[in-house]
Amino acid sequence: MIEQFRGPILVVASHPDDIEAHCAGTVAQLVAQGEAVSYVLVTSGNRGTADLSVTAEEIAARREAEQLAAARVVGVERVRFLRYDDSDLLFHLPRLREELTAIIRQERPRTIITHDPYPGNGSRDSCAIYPDHTTLGLMTFQAAYLCSPGPLFYPDQMCSGLAPHRVTMLYLIMSDKPDTFVDVEAVWDRRMEALRKHRSQGRDHSEMEGFFRRIAGELGTRGGCRLAEGFRRLPPT
């Protein structure tokens, strides 16, 4: 079902390693078939450590470098960091929605991959209901389907040459009810290689392989293959 993801494709994620944990196999195949894919990381994960000796600036720089390395593994060259503070997106809604609208009008994607703003009750994956994830999913949805195509939203952007743009489809990661499954068995090793670049988050630990293989196996069972990534489709109408 990889052909459903029509390019250009914009992947909007809260933190470095969100993409690799949930959709890097899909991205690798899209790039291989010639689709233009770019990333937007809304935070740099600048609070993502338990190390008392590391500053927020240091962990952000480390995680950005890890994200760039992970993107190169799957062939993505265009990565943008918005550098909001980790865990604080809920407190920046107006600015965040406006900035995402500007990016969508500039990049003009047909498809956006982002977090599900309504992923379920979190009983199986508490990470799914992390505030940055649900907040970004909602703001990306609003930016894509309400603001970007509407000429009366942020008219100053149009004065700067950013014309209205309508996105065709959102594909949502971390959803409790995925309805689209992408077979990633053929690119599994590359997907894990990209994920292991996030060493600051322990993604290079040996147990990660089995953990993510179990998740992909469950999704694969639902999608009729051995290993899959899952998405929920959110059309504009």
Residues 192-210 pLDDT 10s = 999 999 999 999 999 999 9
Residues near 1 by Cβ (< 8 Å), separated by ≥ 6?
180, 181, 182
Structure tokens at 235: 């059309």
Residues near 68 by Cβ (< 8 Å), separated by ≥ 6?
79
H/E stretch holding 137: helix 131-142
Q: How many domains does the chain have?
A: 1
How far from chain centre, in Å, is Cα 143?
15
User: Which range has the worst mean pLDDT, 113-117, 120-124, 174-178?
Assistant: 120-124
Residues 45-98 pLDDT 10s = 999 999 899 999 999 999 999 999 999 999 999 999 999 999 999 999 999 999
d(CA 225, CA 227): 6
H/E stretch holding 194: helix 188-196
d(CA 188, CA 135): 29
Domain with residue 127: its CATH number is 3.40.50.10320
H/E stretch holding 169: strand 169-173
The pLDDT of 110-130, averaged and rounded, is: 85
How far from chain centre, in Å, is Cα 147?
20
Say what the pLDDT of residue 123 is. 61
Q: Examine the pLDDT at 3 and tell me if it is beyond 90.
A: no
Percent of the chain's residues with pLDDT above 70: 97
The pLDDT of 185-197, averaged and rounded, is: 98
Model confidence band, residue 1 (pLDDT cutoffs 50, 70, 90): low
Q: Examine the pLDDT at 122 and tell me if it is beyond 70.
A: no
The pLDDT of 177-188, averaged and rounded, is: 97
The pLDDT of 206-228, averaged and rounded, is: 96
Per the structure, the complete domain to which residue 189 belongs is given by 2-234
